[in-house]
Structure 1
Amino acid sequence: MYAATTRPATPDDIPTILSFIIELAVYEKERDKALATPESMHKALFEDGHVANAFIAEADNKPVGFALYFYNFSTWIGKKGIYLEDLYVTPSARNLGVGKALFRALAKVAIEEDCGRIDWSVLKWNTPSIGFYESSLGAIRQEEWVGMRLEGAEAFERLKSLGA
């Protein structure tokens, strides 16, 4: 029997988290976009005013995945929610309950924090993950929404000067 456990990440997990982020970026064909550093991850996850949280999934006392999330807010339901930024499970541990264990940890936080929902995005071509989210978790696609993004200092400066 394969049993995955989850626990909150600690500062000692930063190298593992960064390696998982790189593996995820390679899988998503965006390795060059993974720019996180040990310093940026420590600040984001563990310093005063941290903006994100993470869980580590382990099997046989070995890290096999992670989930990184932060809180958002829904004006429609008037409650905070969880935004799952990344969920990654190593290929050797897939289809063994690790993803479900990480989602259970998120559900526990959502209940404890009185969150209204858990949101995340998935690439359209990632059919194995979409199938897992829909069939195993009961997730509902949000196809009527289009993701939008402004990225980087140049875009922010351009936006700041609009209409000036």
Structure 2
Amino acid sequence: MSTRPTGLSIRRATRRDVPTILRLIRGLAAYERLTRQVTATAAQIRRHGFGRRRYFETLICRRGERPIGFALYFFTFSTFLARPTLYL
């Protein structure tokens, strides 16, 4: 028996997804009751996530054609552990 949800797809985000990413960020902030803390703009997400130097990667989850979630992640380095880490 498969426990995989049907109709879901996950793919790497593109520049065209910037409005969706921002909407999902704002939705998460609303859920967490932190909307006043969100100052991100589409231009900032485009520049830092899809510009010459990418500071983060994003995955988009869809059910059919509808975006229902995202994962924004980046790699960093722990000086205490002396090893690379992933921040999700």
For normalisation by structure 1, the TM-score amounts to: 0.48
Aligned partner of 1:63 in structure 2 is: 67
> What secondary structure sits across from 1:81 in the alignment?
strand
> What secondary structure sits across from 1:12 in the alignment?
helix
Aligned partner of 2:12 in structure 1 is: 8
Percent identity over the alignment?
A: 35
> What secondary structure sits across from 1:7 in the alignment?
strand
Aligned partner of 1:52 in structure 2 is: 56
- Number of residue-to-residue matches in the alignment: 84
Structure 2 gaps of 5+ residues are none
Larger radius of gyration: 1
RMSD: 1.5
Q: CA deviation at 1:80?
A: 1.3
Q: CA deviation at 1:74?
A: 2.3
Letter in 2 for 1:14: V
**Runs of 4+ displaced beyond 4 Å:** none
Indicate the structure with greater strand content: 2
Aligned partner of 2:41 in structure 1 is: 37
Indicate the structure with greater helix content: 1
1:40-62, Cα deviation, whole Å (9 max, x unpaired): 00011000112111000111132
